[in-house]
Amino acid sequence: MFGATSGKGGLGWYIFQNRNELYTDKVFAGLAVVILIGLLVENLVFDTFERMTVKRWGMQR
């Protein structure tokens, strides 16, 4: 599902193929998945990293 890790292509390939075949609903579903993955990474990974570094060092309140 994610890029080169699977043999069938990734999420980008899924969006690209469905765009070429004019399946607009599937393209928007793929884009929604990309957005959800981005929000999860932002809220779980980067917020945790920020709490562990920037806020602890007093650079941000």
Q: Which domain holds residue 19?
A: 3-52
pLDDT-based confidence at residue 1 (cuts at 50, 70, 90)? very low
Number of domains in the chain: 1
Model pLDDT, residue 21: 93
Q: What percentage of the chain carries pLDDT values higher than 90?
A: 57
The verdict on residue 61 lying in a domain is: no
The verdict on residue 58 lying in a domain is: no
Model pLDDT, residue 5: 52
pTM of the model as a whole: 0.69
pLDDT-based confidence at residue 52 (cuts at 50, 70, 90)? confident
Dmax of the chain from CA atoms?
52
Classify residue 9 as left (phi > 0), alpha (psi -120 to 50) or beta: left
